Structure formats: C-alpha cells, structure tokens
Amino acid sequence: MFDFDATLPLMAVQFLLLTALLNLVFYKPLTKALDERDAYIRNNQATAKESLARAESLVKDYEAQIAAARKESQSILEKAQAAAREIVAQKIAEAQKEVQAQKEQAADEIQQQKATALSTLEQQVDSLSRQILEKILGPELVR
C-alpha cells in the first residue's frame, strides 16, 4: 500500500503537463472571455448610467416646465376669480342703489300723497266747520 516507485515522479510530471495544457486551453481563453465580458458590461453600465442621468435631467426640466405652467394657470385662475368677484360686487352695489332710489321715490310719493290728503282733509275740515258755524249762527253772521 505504501510502495513508492516511479509512479510518483511520473505523476508529478503528468500533473504539471496537465496544468500547462489546461492553462493553454481552459484558463487563458476563458479568463480572457470573462474579462472581456466584464469590460463590456462595465462599458454598457457606464453608458446606461449616462443616459439615465440625461433622462433624469430631462425629467427635471419637464417638471420645472410643468411647475411654471401650473403657477401660470393658478395666477390666471386667481385673476379671473378676482374679476368675477369685482363684477359681482359692482352688480350688487348697483342693485342696492336702485333699490334705495326706488325706496326713496316711494317714500317721497307717500309723503306727497300724505300732504295732499292732509290738505284736502283741512279743506274739508274748513268747509265742514263753516257749515257747522252757518248752521249754528246762521248764514248771515258768518260772512
């Protein structure tokens, strides 16, 4: 079982040969392939990162534009609302004025009618009192 003989050196030489052969047909080409793929992937990654950055800057631009547009629309809306409010206030004021005027007119009319009514009433009171006096004192005395 522990008999050393020429197997040992021959095996060592054979193993070294195998190492050299495998280095030629296995390690070198595949290592090269792996490294090339690594470089390729790194390249692609770099370009991808670049385009990602570009896309991000584009997105930022668009977002800024959107924000500006939103602000503009906001201001337009506010302006329109203010105008509308103004118009409403004006209309209300006008209506109130008109109402006031009508009210005053009506009050004037009432006052006038009251005055005429009072004057007719006075005349009637005068004629009535004259008639009463005529009745009581006689017509000749009254004159």
Q: Which residues bind other proteins (CB under 8 A)?
A: 1-12, 14-16, 18-19, 21-23, 25-27, 29-31, 33-34, 36-37, 40
No. of H helices and E strands in the chain?
3, 0
CB of 46 to other proteins, least distance (A): 17
CB of 7 to other proteins, least distance (A): 4
Residue 138 region, left (φ>0) first, then alpha (ψ -120 to 50), else beta?
left
Nearer to other proteins, 22 or 128 (CB): 22
Nearer to other proteins, 2 or 140 (CB): 2
Copy the structure tokens of residue 122.
């006075």
Are the CB atoms for 142 and 133 separated by under 8 Å? Answer: yes
CB of 42 to other proteins, least distance (A): 14
CB of 43 to other proteins, least distance (A): 12
Q: Say which amino acid occupies 119.
A: S
Q: Say which amino acid occupies 62.
A: Y
